[in-house]
Amino acid sequence: MLSLKGKVVIVTGGSRGIGSTIAKEVAKRGATVVINYNTSLNLAEKVVEEIEESGGKAFAYKANVALSNDAKNLIETTKNKFGRIDILINNAGITRDRTFRNLSEEEWNEVINVNLNSVYNTTSAVINTMLEQKYGRIINISSIIGQAGGFGQTNYSASKAGMIGFTKSLALETAKYGVTVNSICPGYIETEMTGQIPDKILDQIVAKIPMKRLGKTNEVAEAVLFLANSDYITGQTLNVNGGVYM
């Protein structure tokens, strides 16, 4: 099993869904994990408990990563508490689906702020630490919708496509310092986010997936572990989507 012993990992949006599975999987490999959440204190504490019960080290931290000061506090507190930050997983995300004609400016801004500006907020706060360490992994959880588009998802799609461009550009700047930056594009994964999709539409989506099922959160976590372990993969977009977009 891959070892992440001694590594310090931050997972934004680690209280539920994909983020909580990533947090548990990196902890199983020996990393100390900071589980960021915004509103779900109880769920974040449950993830910490589960990790500690199986002998791991975790810590829950409330921060709305859409806010620059909250993101700075998350990074600074982690650095002060554990002395370093090795892996940042930008996973926090929301949807506010609406056809473009009906989309309000507020719904546009909310999704761009939580999904994309958060990536600027956390990454800008952590980057100097990683460059000085001459080691770092930044893994951005984008989406198939950032690649293929999605009906009623102009805001979400723009935010997720933005993450991919951000990833490639930053990867160019940080490669020589041993800091890799990659994106993962999950397809449709079983979480509360896809739970919001009406059953009829979800059936139509599944029918189009070559594997004929939704993905599981641990299948995204496996991609995170793979990228965390690689020194020579950077600027890439790794699809975890059952073959629905190639």
| Contacts to ligand NAP by CB under 6 A | 12-13, 15-19, 36-40, 64-66, 91-94, 114, 141, 143, 186, 188-189, 191-194
Q: How far is the CB of 60 from ligand NAP (least distance, A)?
A: 10
Amino acid sitting at position 135: Y
Catalytic site residue 177? no
CA angle in degrees (0–180, nearest 5) for 24-198-209: 65
Query: In angstroms, how far is CA 165 from the centroid of its own chain?
Result: 15
Set 37, 135, 156, 188: catalytic member: 156
CA distance linking residue 170 with residue 179, whole number of Å? 9
91/167 with CB nearer ligand NAP: 91
Q: Is 2 left (phi over 0), alpha (psi -120 to 50) or beta?
A: beta
Q: How far is the CB of 93 from ligand NAP (least distance, A)?
A: 2
CA–CA distance from 190 to each of 21, 202, 214 (Å)?
A: 12, 11, 6
143/154 with CB nearer ligand NAP: 143
37/135 with CB nearer ligand NAP: 37
135/188 with CB nearer ligand NAP: 188
Amino acid sitting at position 84: R
CA distance linking residue 233 with residue 246, whole number of Å? 19
Q: How far is the CB of 103 from ligand NAP (least distance, A)?
A: 17
Q: How far is the CB of 66 from ligand NAP (least distance, A)?
A: 4
**Which of the residues are catalytic?**
156
